[in-house]
Amino acid sequence: MAAPVTAQDNSDWAWHDANGLSRVINVNGTMTSLGASRVHPDVARATAAAMGHFLRIHELQSKASAAIAALTGAEAGCLTASASAGITLAVAGCITGLDPARAEALPRNPGPRSEVVVQAGHLCGYGAPVSTAVELAGGIVRSIGQSTLAMDHQLRGAIGPQTAAALYVVSHHVVHYGQIPFARFVDICHAAGVPVIVDAASEYDLQGFVAAGADLAIYSAHKFMGGPTAGIIAGRRDLVRAAYLQNIGIGRGMKIGKESMAGAIRAMEMWMVRDHAAARATERAALEMWMAQLAGIPGIMPRIMPDPTGNPLDRLQVDVDPAGSGSTAAAIARHLAGLDPAIIVRNHEVELGYFQLDPCNLAPGQAEIVGRTLREVLLSARNIPQSPEDADDARNGGVESYLNWLA
């Protein structure tokens, strides 16, 4: 079994120890449950600096709009509490326009034009159902097609006087075949005068969706971009203004503070000048090191896999043959999460016999810890206790964590 890593192996543990928190190495991804990302010191300084001052929030949102426009190529933008909040406010803005009385009436009285068309294969969960983000605005989800097949005529047939918007979800959680391509989706919706909202919370492509016709695009400021927790709404000026208006109603509970706005603006500025090629090279080096360390281990088949939504990143997929390794992917993932430090792998498809390692969020020195520990664990995988519930525990873990909190 792998020995626990001592505090001297990584200076990052000093913060965890001082605050009484478990030591964690994140090779899962930009997951909210793990804190999403590691914020650059410049972003942290910008966030902290804003906390000592009064200001006009509308002015700061105007600065955010300029930064979002430069980042995405959109006409305008605004910030909110999260990408999920961004979906809700975008839907609400499409329902009400710039009518404050209608904005105040949400969600109890959205009016007759409140349906949001979405492909069945896009009705995923990201910690909560995407349908909930629509319904919080008073929107009515109009699902089209089946989970594995949506056709043009189904989209056309669902659009009518009751349609406020159409939602297109870009995520590793959605079905990746049989869906209406984005360009076609936009053409059909725009021909009927329906605005298209894109949920692209975890996407690197910050300009492509707006350029391809998205009327509103939603991004996370705190995932790949490495900002404080915030959601970015980018798109048509009239619809951005309508989404921002929702702060007098349902958006009040989704508001973002001055400190997160200042940090998000700085994160956007830094993203535009970041050396993305250097970051990819560092990530690739970690992947190749892990591949080498896992080579030849019985029942273990490592391979480098591209991101399913086309983000410019790769992950190491570790396929586990129970007969050869003596264990299962689910049991190994659970075991790694119980170590000190906990190594949290990407396990959302662990019932298919594999887990993945994402190198995007590693602190210096952690890639070596992961490789060394993973090799030791896999060489002795037969000693890892197994349970028929391992895969179920991974699948239900999001809910169980809430149910077990303070229990």
pTM reported for the whole predicted model: 0.90
Query: What CATH number does the domain containing 109 carry?
Result: 3.40.640.10
345 with 226, same domain: the answer is no
180 with 48, same domain: the answer is yes
161 with 298, same domain: the answer is no
233 with 313, same domain: the answer is no
- Structural domain boundaries, residue 396: 7-30+276-404
Query: What CATH number does the domain containing 322 carry?
Result: 3.90.1150.180
228 with 377, same domain: the answer is no
120 with 203, same domain: the answer is yes
Domain end call among 249, 273, 297: 273
Residue-wise pLDDT for 64-88, tens only, equals 999 999 999 999 999 999 999 999 9
- Which one, of 34, 23, 28, lies nearest residue 345 by Cα? 28
242 with 368, same domain: the answer is no
Q: Which residues contact 76 (CB under 8 A, 6 or more apart)?
A: 65, 68, 69, 234, 235, 236, 237, 240, 241
Could you give the number of structural domains in the chain?
2
Residue-wise pLDDT for 15-51, tens only, equals 888 888 889 999 988 777 777 788 888 999 999 999 9
Question: Is residue 2, in this structure, part of any structural domain at all?
Answer: no
* 8 Å CB contact between 232 and 209: no
51 with 80, same domain: the answer is yes
Axis-axis angle for helices 329-337, 366-379 (nearest 10): 130
320 with 339, same domain: the answer is yes
**How far, in Å, CA of 232 to CA of 74, rounded?**
12
375 with 282, same domain: the answer is yes
Token duo for residue 170: 């870009």
Instruction: Check residue 125 and report its DSSP letter.
Output: B
Note the pLDDT of residue 396.
75
**How far, in Å, CA of 353 to CA of 322, rounded?**
9
Taking the chain (407 residues) in runs of 10, the rounded mean pLDDT of each run is 41 82 87 79 93 96 97 97 96 98 96 96 89 97 95 97 97 88 97 97 89 96 87 98 98 95 94 88 92 92 86 88 90 91 88 89 90 92 80 76 84
Domain end call among 231, 258, 273: 273
